[in-house]
Amino acid sequence: MDTTETKNLSVLISGASVAGPALAHWLHRYGFTTTIVERAPALRDGGYAVDFRGEAHLSVLRGMGILDAVERARTGMGSMAYVNSAGRPQAQLPADLFAGDVEILRGDLARILYEATAAHTEYVFGDSVTSLTEDAEGVTVTFERGAPRRFDLVIGADGLHSTTRRLAFGPEEQFVRHLGVHCAIFTTANRLGLDHTGHAYRTAGRLVAMYSARHNTEAKAVFYFASPLLDLDRREVARQQAVLAEQFAGNGWESDRLLEDMRYAPDFYFDSVGQVRMDSWSRGRIALLGDAAHCPSPLSGMGTGLALVGAYVLAGELAAARGDHRVAFARYEDELRKYAAGCQKMGDGVARLMVPGSRLTATLLNRYYKVMPYLPGKDMAARIARRTAEDITLRDYSAWDRLGPRNPALPKAGG
């Protein structure tokens, strides 16, 4: 790419989890200069497992040159069992439904992306954007700690509770739709001796699960419970833990023991489960990416793959438009909106299945899962997930790649 013909080369990205570093990777290949600002003081470890399925996801990982690293860090998860209060398996759900083609802990993926971009991307940890002032030539950005700076473009890749979205588009409640569920996850000891598998226990309005991680050396504890949106500060961990303990006290199975472990977890995470619905993902020189733009919810199983595909498309369209953000942002939405809507559809209704509102519904679902392996449509959910993940035709932007031809061809057709 001839950078003398390209404008808007300096890009601020808010968020250093997955979407932000992935975008920085591609923008660097096309000659842009990127800065990533992240509120956390360092990379966040831990988190739940995320998966990739289908050629659209895998081709982006391959094109970034990180697929091998992702596969080396994969969880290797097998099937998952629903258990009764005594811990005896009652039903098995197939690995393809949960783990896709390759599954990895979110923290491990973030580390891989950071290592792939740190040499050419400026990372600013422990800071956050406080204001965005746009004019004809760029955007003046102020920060909580750092001095104000100027950038040509600003991209919000800062998640469900995006600060960038709030500053540029309006209050969170205008765009985030609560799905009636809250969740928590943290690392704990693999007390059950799980071998690349997980156990889940469901009661009315509650689900608690454990699955092994990092080659069975530890486990992840996961809690879901049905509730209206709670007014909790995301940084008040003690209050969040108190709410979780109240919700699951005496719930049965491993609940009480896991609640004790929770007090000592180094990576406790708690949040509402929601989706982001927006009419537009850009405004002037500011655009949104990943969960900030179109979060499908963790229940969809599509969020991370969608974020990586979105980063690929956004960077490619900026390169193809020679940095003309008006053209690039519009094409980015045209290319991705239908795909994002399909991924969001996967999350719709899942909350009621995971945490049914009554004991009767929970019992009936457990019985259904028990006989599901013997039914004709036993793999229907996994096939729908794969079809959704592949339902996009990715453009080839390699003509603007300054680093030369990439590994491997992109998928030729969606669906």
The 3-state DSSP class for residue 64 equals: helix
Q: Distance between CA 291 and CA 92 in Å, rounded?
A: 30
Residues 380/298, Cβ–Cβ less than 8 Å: no
Q: In sequence order, what E strands does 192-258 have?
A: 198-203, 206-213, 218-226
Q: What does pTM read for this prediction?
A: 0.90
Which residues are 271's β-sheet partners? 183
363: tokens are 């019992």
Size (the chain), residues:
415
Which residues are 40's β-sheet partners? none
Give the residue carrying structure tokens 């792939």.
116
Angle among Cα 21, 144, 289 to the nearest 5 degrees reads 30
Residue pLDDT, tens place only, 82-117: 898 998 888 777 666 666 788 898 999 999 999 999
- Helix locations, 286-408, DSSP H: 291-294, 303-320, 325-347, 350-354, 359-371, 380-389
- pLDDT level of residue 4 (50, 70, 90 thresholds): very low
DSSP string spanning 254-310?
THHHHHHHHTT-TT-EEEEEEEE--S-SEETTEEE-THHHH---GGGS-HHHHHHHH
Residue pLDDT, tens place only, 163-188: 999 999 999 999 999 998 999 999 99
Residue pLDDT, tens place only, 273-307: 999 999 999 999 999 999 999 999 888 888 899 99
Closest CA to 287 of 233, 227, 235, 329: 329
